[in-house]
Homo-oligomer: A and B are copies of this chain.
Amino acid sequence: MSDDAALLERRFRVMGRNAPLFYDRPVHLVRGHGVWVEDADGRRYLDVYNNVPHVGHCHPHVVEAIARQAATLNLHTRYLHETVVAYAERLTATFAEPLDAAVFTCSGTESNELALRLARYRSGGRGIIVSDFSYHGNSETLAAVTTCFPVPEPFPVFARKVPVPDPYRDRQGRDDGALGDLFAAKIAEAVRSLKAEGIPLAALLIDTLFANEGLPEPVPGYVAKAVAIVHEAGGQFICDEVQAGFGRTGDAMWGHQLSGVTPDIVTLGKPMGNGHPLAGVIAPAELIDSFGKAATYFNTFGGNPVSAAAGMAVLDVIEDEGLLENSRRVGAHVRAGLERLMARYPIIGNVRGRGLFFGIEIIADAGEKTPDPALTKRLVNMMRDRGVLLSRIGRYDNILKMRPPMVFTTADADLLLATLDNALAAL
C-alpha cells in the first residue's frame, strides 16, 4: 500500500488544509488512459467525472502535439505564429455569425473576466445578472458573483441573481410557455432593480446547460426570452461554454446552439486543451478590435504555440473519432439505463442531462421530492470504493454528476450502470 496518509499530511502543510479534495478517502492517482485512471496501488477507476481530459486521458494525438511543439517553440502572441492563427480560424468556424474572432486565455476565469470587460465596454453599463446557483471563476469579481457556494466577498451591488427554471420542481401544472414566462419575468425584475439603483445592465452571464444548477431539462424558449429582455436593456449575452462546449451534449458543438440563441460573447475553458491550460473568448471581431484599441489586452500564455497545438489536436480527435456522435449515442444509452434504474429505485427522483453529461436526482420521498444530499454523498463515496469516479451537483447537492471523457463507450456505460445498480442495492 502506498502511504497516502503521509502524502496527504505533506499536502496539508504546503498547500493548505482546505484546498478542495474529492471523497472521504482521497484518491491518489498516478496515471490515466482513455476513460481509465489508476491509483498508486495499481487500482483502476472508471472516470465518469472529468471533462478536462475531454478526448480521453493522455490521448496520444494530443500528447504528441504538445511534446512536438514544446520541443520546437513556445512563446507568446506578440510574434506571428501560423498555428495560433490556424487554430483561431478553425475554432471560430464552428460558431455562427457574427462570432468570428478569438482571444485566447489560460482558464475559464480569465475568459469570463475578459467577457465581462468586453460587455461593460460595449454596453457602458456595469450591471451583471447571473443564475442564483452558479459559478464562473475564482477572480475577485467572479468569486463575488458566485451563488453556488459561500465566498468571503459580499454579493456586489452591481449584480443580481435569478433562479433558472427546473421543470422537475417548478412546473406545478404550468405548460412550457408559462414556465418560461415565469422565469423570464425574474430577468426583467433584475433589470428593473439594477436600473432603479442607476446601474445600467452590462451582461447576462449564464451556462445554457445550467450544469451547476443541476442540469434541469431545458424549458423551450426560456433562454431566448431572457436574452431578448437583456438586449432590450442594452446588455450583452455572455454564454459560458466551459462545461457544455466542445460537443459535450452530443447534439451540437456548443450548448447555446441547443437553445437556438446566438450569444454576443462566448467563453471557453476546461475541455479545450485536454488538460493543457487553454481557454478563450469568442466574440465579433468588431468588438474585439474596438476593445483592443482601448485596452491593450495581452495574455502572456494565452494562445502560445503549445496551447494552440493542443487545442488543434483536440479538434482533430473530436472530428476523427466522431465524438459528437459518440456522445449522442452513448449518452442516450446511459440515459435509458438510468431510467431503468429509476423504475426500480424510488430514491431516484428523476434522470437528467443530455449527451455525455447526465445526472440522477436522489430524493428521500417521491411524493414530496425531498432532496437527500447525505445519501447522495454516501453514494458518491460508495461508487469511488467500487471503482467509479463521479461527483454531485445542484441546488440541494443531491444530483449525481456524471460527465466522463468523450471517448466513453457503451461498454463503459454498462459498467457504470451495473456499478450504480450494485451501490443502490447496497444502500
Contacts and interface: CB of A to CB of B under 8 A. Distances in A.
Interface of A: 4, 7-8, 10-11, 13-22, 26-32, 37, 40, 50, 52-53, 57-58, 60, 62-63, 66-67, 70-82, 84-85, 88-89, 92, 100-103, 106-110, 113-114, 116-117, 120-121, 138-141, 143, 149-153, 269-270, 274-278, 285, 288-289, 291-301, 303-304, 306-307
A14 B88 contact: yes
Contacts of A294: 150-152
Given A32-B73, A300-B269, A26 B79 contact: yes
Given A53-B74, A275-B75, A80 B296 contact: no
B79 A28 contact: yes
A303 B116 CA distance: 26
A171 to B, nearest CB: 32
A14 B89 contact: yes
Contact of A75 (B32, B92, B100, B113): B32
A188 B143 CA distance: 31
Contacts of A149: 296
Nearest to A47: B75
13 contacts: A15-B288, A15-B303, A16-B101, A19-B288, A19-B298, A30-B73, A37-B75, A58-B74, A63-B70, A109-B299, A117-B153, A120-B153, A152-B295
Given A58-B72, A73-B30, A88-B15, A140 B117 contact: yes
Given A15-B77, A70-B67, A292-B18, A301 B106 contact: yes
Nearest to A65: B70
Q: Is the interface of A mostly helix, strand, loop or mixed?
A: mixed
A288 B293 CA distance: 38
A291 B22 CA distance: 19
Interchain residue pairs A-B with the least CB separation, the first 9: A18-B292, A74-B275, A67-B67, A277-B301, A106-B106, A28-B80, A16-B288, A277-B277, A14-B88
A79 B269 contact: no
Most chain B CB atoms below 10 A, which of A15, A52, A299: A15
B150 A296 contact: yes
Contact of A289 (B17, B79, B92, B298): B17
B295 A151 contact: yes
